[in-house]
Amino acid sequence: MQLRDAITTRRMVRRFDAEREVAGEVLQRIVELGPRAPSAGFSQGWDFVVLRGTERDAFWAASTDGGAPDAWLRGVSSAPVLIVCCSDRGAYLDRYAEPDKPWPDRSESHWPAPYWDVDTGMAAMLMLLGAVDEGLGALFFGVPVERLTAVREALAIPQDRGVVGVIALGYAESVAPSGSTRKVRRRPLSEVVHAGRFGDPWH
């Protein structure tokens, strides 16, 4: 698939065909795209925990409150594959304490942005595009903050890792409803892109 087509046709999918598995070689081609993202200092402070079949149960048990599933959860839990995207801040602090880098004190205060989360997000973006390329649908969603500790415990994720988000992956149900009842417009390019300085609109 052409890059531009993959980017412009990608949509978040919130309901999956639970009966249709994702073949191992398809999944392999998707996950191997993630680590192709750039990372500050080539720190590569990311990890991806892939859950299939019953492996998903521990995630859903830890990330929900056990009550009756709502429409969102019924849709997303039909995804046959989950990819939990973790960030490793310590890997960045370690990398930038090395002799060719400037911050031996490992202080987080040097960082203008949390690149451990940003770079992991970039890696997730590449896997989301890879899903489109394979004819799959995907959703990127966050774990409720009050469930983060339980999710880490359930999946043996070290407690110092960030859980940036989870990719739900599978074949889309033919009609994929929006996740929200409120329609939000796409901001026009003339508002999002500024020419020369903030506030000067792009042509």
Task: Report the amino acid identity of residue 91.
Answer: A
Q: Which is nearer to its own copies, 66 or 183 (CB)?
A: 183
Q: Which is nearer to its own copies, 32 or 105 (CB)?
A: 32
Nearest partner of 43 among 110, 114, 105, judged by Cα: 114
The single residue among 69, 104, 135, 158 that binds its own copies, judged by CB under 8 A, is 158
Q: Which is nearer to its own copies, 77 or 83 (CB)?
A: 83
Q: Which is nearer to its own copies, 121 or 170 (CB)?
A: 121
Total residues interacting with its own copies, rule: CB under 8 A: 88
Within 109-128, the residues that bind its own copies by CB under 8 A are 109-115, 117-122, 124-126, 128
Three-state DSSP state, 85: strand
Within 131-150, the residues that bind its own copies by CB under 8 A are 132-133, 140, 142-145, 148
Give the DSSP letter of residue 4. Answer: H
Instruction: Report the C-alpha gap between 136 and 28 in whole angstroms.
Output: 13
Taking CB under 8 A as the rule, does residue 55 contact its own copies?
A: yes
Taking CB under 8 A as the rule, does residue 177 contact its own copies?
A: no
Taking CB under 8 A as the rule, does residue 50 contact its own copies?
A: yes
Q: Which is nearer to its own copies, 77 or 163 (CB)?
A: 163
- Classify strands 137-141 and 162-170 as parallel, antiparallel or unpaired: antiparallel
Options 5-13, 15-23, 70-78, 169-177: segment touching its own copies (CB under 8 A): 5-13
Three-state DSSP state, 111: coil
Torsion of CA 153, 154, 155, 160, to 10 degrees: -20
Find where tokens 């988000």 sit.
Answer: 165
Instruction: Report the C-alpha gap between 88 and 160 in whole angstroms.
Output: 7
